[in-house]
Structure 1
Amino acid sequence: MKKAAALFILLITASAANIALSLHSGANCETKTLSEPRTATGLGFDISFEVNKIVIEISRNNSNFSDISQQILSLHPEITGIILSSSIRLPILSLNIRERLKIFPNRTVETDIFWRTFDTTHNGWAAPFLDCHFLQGVWFYAYVLKSADIGLGLFIPIKLNQCDYGLADIFGGPHQCDEDTTKCIPQYEYGERKGGYRCICREGFFYPGANLSWNGFSGEDVEKGLLDSYRCVPCPPECDICGEGGLCEAKRDLYLRSIILSLQLVCMFITIILALIVFKQRKCKAIASGMWTILETVLLGIFFLHGTVVVHYFEPSVLQCLLERWARELGFIICYGAIILKLYRHLIEFRTRKAHRWVIKDTDLLKYLLIMFMSVFAYMAAYTAISVNFVQENYSLLSKGETLEGVHYESCKPLWWDYVTQVGELAILIFGIHLSYASRNARTQFHERRYLCAAISIELAVSGLFYMARIFILPDLHPNFVLIAHFIRTQFTATITLMLVFVPKFWYQQKQVRSLAQEYSCRIPVDAFKDMNAHGPLTSNNSDADVGEVSLADMNPEDIRAELKRLYVQLEIFKNKTIRLDNPHISKRRGGRKAPHRRFSLQKKGSRERNLYGNKHRIAKKEEETTEAEPSRTPEDSVCSNEGPSAVYNDLPSTYTSESKP
């Protein structure tokens, strides 16, 4: 019983406190209505469209106003209250009070201001009013629509903006900023209290007494008359815009920058399309021979390289400076790292004077590329951590520059990290050229090595010149010209690399309908198919007549069999000549014994002397033994083929036939 009494007393005390607080607040608040209607500004929806939807919903579901009100208030948080009425139902008022829906079917003293506004307005926007009961101290816009059968009223809270002349009556007058030289910036936290704004200089004006911490004239100081002058001074005639102290600041050409941004976005879109084409054509000879996975990574790197200009388009900031460097370094290592690995694979596959052939699979190259990527990622993470630490210690990553014309601008500050990174890029490119030079005698399909070397050489030349210009020339140029320089650099490197890597592949892919003779006519003489040592009527010069002149009906099976045998022999001769054409290390003898002095594998230093002079008793013992030597492996078996030795024919001049012992 005592607990119940204590709880009852506590509830009464809380209710009394709430009532007292409401009375105290109500004493300080007086319901107001402006004299003229005002159109709401800054709405996130079309009020006419939403009203028509609500009218249609009422026509369909005329019997349930509560559900319609709840649906409207939940879909549009900007709307706080709604009145619905019809010719067959009593009107209701729904209010969203502290995220809770309250419905008032009857007119009360607290809701009188809402009903009065609805009754006195026929159609359109009503005069704003102040509520002092449920939503104390909140001003509302009101929009009313009435017809013969349906009535609708929407109530939207006003975000008090002292810079809005339409709401000047709420604050007792407009703001006091000088319209000619300054512009008003609202401060919404002031509410109805006057002075909730700041006056900052317009473009082309500056305040002589400004310092680095000055952010405009305070509205409170302006309203209280504490400032002698709150006007700004025009910039010097030679300046479009100026900053502190009247210093001319660079004006960025929005039209030019938009054109460059559009071109870069087009290049990035083309890169995405090429990636899809490469994936779709990955089984074609031209794409498969170039390792389609590596080609996709090259396109990914080019995409990042184009993204550097997109990042440079925006105004300089700490985030912009960091993102630009990240995009550049990751794109560089992905693109040119993949190209260098392709050159490395060519060098390994075509190296000479090695007893065993190294086979590098695509997965191995991707592993190497992943290691390179993670190394650069760790390097950039360390760079970012140090840069953020500098910013937290009040060091700036931005610097003020000045052009030759005396125009000031803001840009990313060059750091020693940047110089180290640039030297690292050039070193990687030089290593790629070294690999290309080392494999200069290697023949690759579709002349791939030549185009890869050209891409790296162009990147080395253009980037070297650009980095020199960044140190000595670009600091004196206008930011618009600096953006153009970045754009040209990207087009001369990333775009040309894309063309050199992919255009030849698509070009050669369209020319794969050639016959076998046409395909190799540029590498061997035409008469390579002719057997000069063959005998017989079918292998003589007369047999080289046009096939169309000989009818199969005139040939017997023996002639056809002999002709096919001759073709097989010629194909084997052609195969051997083609293999030896660009591989001088391959012996012309097949399966035969090598000369005693020939050593195909490398030997350690001093091994030859030990074999000649070291163990004489072993040499004497070997002279007494008579064993048949095992034929050594041919270079073709150890270096040049994954498929083992080619087929050997006894009637070929380049083969070796062992004589049988009696």
Structure 2
Amino acid sequence: MSIVLNYTADNPPGIEQRNVTQSPFSDPLDMDDDDVVEKFLELVEKYEKNKENCTAGTQVNLGEGVIQQYGINRFKLQGMVAVNRANFLTRIWKEAPKELLDSEYFFYTQVRSMVEGDPEIFAAGNCYDNYEFKDYYLFCPYGYRMENGQINVKDLSVEYDFLGNDSEWFYSARLRSKRVELFNYTIGTTQPRYNQSMFAEIQNDSSITMTYDDGHWSLPYFDCGGGNIWMMTFTVPFFGYKNGTFKFKGTSGIDIDLQKVDIDQCPQPEGSTEPNVFQGSDKCKPATTRCEPIPGLGFRRGSYKCVCKDGYYFPDVTAMQRYYNGTEVGNEYTKRKRGEANIYDTAFECLQCATGCDTCEDASPCILTLNWVQRSVVLGVSCLIMLFIPVLVWFTVQYSEIKVLKAASPVLLRIILLGAFFLYSTLIVGYFEASVLTCCLRFWFREIGFSISYGALLLKTWRISVVFRVRSAQRVKISDSNLIKRLLLIVSVFAAYTTARTIAGTPRVIEGKHVTGLKAFQCSSDWWDHSAAIAELLFLLWGISLCIIVRKAPSEFNESRFISWAIYNETLLSLFLNVSMIFLQDPFPTNPDLIYLVIFIHTQLTTTVTLGFLLGSKAYLVYKYRGKAEQQNQHTTMISKGSKYTCSGTKASPAICSSITGVGNSTNYSDKIDDAECESFLEKDIQGEFRRLYTQLEMLKQRNMKIGNRHLQYKLSAMTEAAQKDDLPDSIPTSPNVNGKRVVINLDDFHEATTL
């Protein structure tokens, strides 16, 4: 492509005469690529301002890059007007009568109608080769729009000679016309009218036909003497007919006013292959701004604006138009290149938005600032409570032989404390800003801690329910090791699910909106989390069913009652938390501080309360009876007076009383009362057993009488008489002792279970 600049002595003052043919991306004037385009656009403006001093002709023109961008693609519809007119003129000059062909008014009217029919067309003309119209050396009917909007028609050949090769729009079309054989020919017929009701004979009609591809877009040029504007022309040849052959006669063309055509100085979009000679000639600062074309400014430099990139904002936040005008930026850049005083280096920059803002209008924050004071207080309280876990572990070891702890299985208590540690750890990882790591750790700590802590509680309750439901005198023994094996199975199931979630559905950090409109980030909540919550709830419902079964089971130190309270509490609060999280984790509104506080409250009301139920009461009893325990034998039962969970205060079956732990004799007054109560219970229960035995013997005797077995009948009668006695035999011991040991119910410790 080429840029041709030609100036004569009539050019504006200060601009020397120059005739240069150069690539817009070459550097003959010691300028970089952008400066070549900038220099040319600057000269275009100066030429436009001094057009009254120009020389007639089209010598000043720009390269082909504009042709592709503004001609072939955009103005094809206007180009087709010239194509249609060329085909019309070809037929006119083939067979029209001489009177019509000599009428200049006819041809002036044609070009006027072309301009009138499309406001995008600035001018239209039919320019003839030398001596192709009458005896005129040149003839070119030319219609164009004036500044007042009227259309003026004139013979353009009067002002300048367009036959030279500097009139590229005419010269190129004449060259293309020499290849007549390459054009299309159409063959048809015509049925002229003979009279009002008949046609004349059909006549053959054939002619050479132009298409849009046969036309030519000229280099953009300054049309001095024509429209006196910067324009580009589309021309297509039309032909005369002589001696049975077609020959070039002239051109049909339209002109586009480049002052009404917007140039694009901004960089080309990524992937665009459309040529643009002006691309990248803007002077926006790419670090913080980007170039956007401004439509409607026409063929002039600075037809763009520098707007702030995403993540930056305009410094003057009160401005109505928050961008830098391209003309102003370009002028300051020109001053800088000339060494004049300018503000280009210190201005035209945008300021960076606050952290996390994709877009912004000022320096206001876009991300919700976490309340670190509140979160630190919550974390401090949680860590302070966690410090009691090692103390409680030491407590279970130090006093493991004391009855109140030994009956509750110290090993299981330590396992529950381990699970509580993991549950408290969720508050530690939740303290920090949400990330994939913290989201994964929080899910792991919650599920593993829950499975360990509440799995141990439910297994303890399950052991009590198994013993309580046994209705015979057989021995039932479920040791701590058996429970630990089952607990490992439960924890393994939870761990497997957590592993699958971490691999297949890794938690994500999602962005939400606070009520203030600020961004807030939190861990995602999807069907993996919902499934885990449902599994926890079903697990707790199983625990509730066990609690209902053992609600009347005898137990030392109210152990089963405290476990039931803990399970009920966790079920209700977990259900409430899961429902509340549906609203708290919704994209609107989102408050990470509120969510963190809710999790803290839930942990304290469940885990802390559970530890208080299980270990708080035991610590109280150990402290209360510590002096007595030191004086007595370590196997002395430390039990509250009047407890309804002893063998003496319940209607338990003999099987339950048989699953006991033998303890040493006691001289304590309360033990004597318990002995009497247990003796009364055993006597009544033995009488009941004899009544049932009597009933069974009667039924057996009646059956044998029918069979006729007399010997067996005598034996059964003797046994029946013995069972009918109201008083117990003297040989039955009246004391509820077995092997010299007092009988006491203990359903939580089965290490030394015996049978009566």
TM-score normalized with structure 2 length: 0.42
Greater C-alpha Rg: 2
Higher relative contact order (CA 8 A, sep 6+): 2
